[in-house]
Amino acid sequence: MDEDLWSILIALENNTRREMLKTLANYNSYGLELSRMIGVSQQAINKQLEILEKLGLICTDGSIPSTMGPPRKVYRSMGFSTIIIDYSKNFMKIKKMDIDYGDENIEGNNSDLVNKLNNLNGEIDKIDRERNLLSSKKDAIIGMLKERASGFDNFYRKVIYGYLETMDISIVAHNMGIPEELVKGIVDKFLQG
């Protein structure tokens, strides 16, 4: 799994960081303001800001003057992605796709834009339902194949399961630290069975 994805998952495991990311997705802010909005101490917010900045999910975006001391650092979110997590009986897959902000020419009055947003939400929900159905079928097929691999020893099963997860002999060989020819031989034997 790539480091960017791990960074996002680490950030999302903490409720305060999730709230901060949601807030910073809407507008830039500084520590004290985030503390007041989220209802967490400024010390805790500052600690989480440091973590989010190290993870590359936020960055400083200048500063604003303060009547109570030094200027306040303003933060903004960055690195927007879609993350899909499949966690089923027979497989687990986590996938990150960066959001492509192309040259979308979106026009219309507020009512038109709300209608467009509602339609997009409906399309995304439809895709999610279709994806769920496909994932269910995938889970059933992998379950059947795993059952058929139960007659192999643990090492062979690990190779077969790795192949079913990635569908790539070279990735399995790399992940297990074994020659590709060995993986190919095991997979071929399984496929002939």
pLDDT of residue 7: 80
Instruction: Tell me which DSSP letter residue 27 carries.
Output: S
For the question of whether the overall pTM of this predicted structure is more than 0.75, the answer is yes
Domain boundaries, given as residue ranges, for the chain: 3-77, 110-192
Could you write out the DSSP letters of every residue in 132-185?
Answer: HHHHHHHHHHHHHHHHHGGGS-HHHHHHHHHHHHH--HHHHHHHHT--HHHHHH
Cα radius of gyration (the chain): 23
CA 185/CA 191 separation, integer angstroms? 10
Q: How confident is the model at residue 76 (pLDDT cuts 50, 70, 90)?
A: very high
For the segment 85-98, the average pLDDT, to the nearest whole number, is 91
3-77 maps to which CATH number? 1.10.10.10
- The per-residue b/e assignment along 151-169, b for 16 or more CB within 10 angstroms, e otherwise, is ebeeeebbbbbbbbbeeeb
Long-range contacts formed by 38-44: CB under 8 A, 24+ apart: 40/16, 44/16
CA 125/CA 122 separation, integer angstroms? 5
pLDDT of residue 14: 93
pLDDT of residue 3: 73
Q: How confident is the model at residue 4 (pLDDT cuts 50, 70, 90)?
A: confident
Neighbour count for residue 27 (Cβ, 10 Å) = 10
Q: 114-137: per-residue pLDDT in tens?
A: 999 999 999 999 999 999 999 999
Q: How confident is the model at residue 1 (pLDDT cuts 50, 70, 90)?
A: low
Q: Above 80 in pLDDT, residue 79?
A: no
- Rounded to the nearest integer, the mean pLDDT of the chain is 92
Residue linked to tokens 């800001």: 49
The C-alpha angle 62, 14, 126, rounded to 5 degrees, equals 95
pLDDT of residue 105: 79
Q: 8-34: per-residue pLDDT in tens?
A: 888 889 999 999 999 999 999 999 999
User: Is 106 in contact with 116 (CB distance < 8 Å)?
Assistant: yes
Residue type, 65: P
User: Is 43 in contact with 23 (CB distance < 8 Å)?
Assistant: no
CA 34/CA 23 separation, integer angstroms? 8
Q: 137-186: per-residue pLDDT in tens?
A: 999 999 999 999 999 999 999 999 999 999 999 999 999 999 999 999 99
The strand pairing partners of 66, in sequence order, are 69
What is the dihedral sign for C-alpha 123, 126, 130, 135?
positive
CA 46/CA 30 separation, integer angstroms? 9
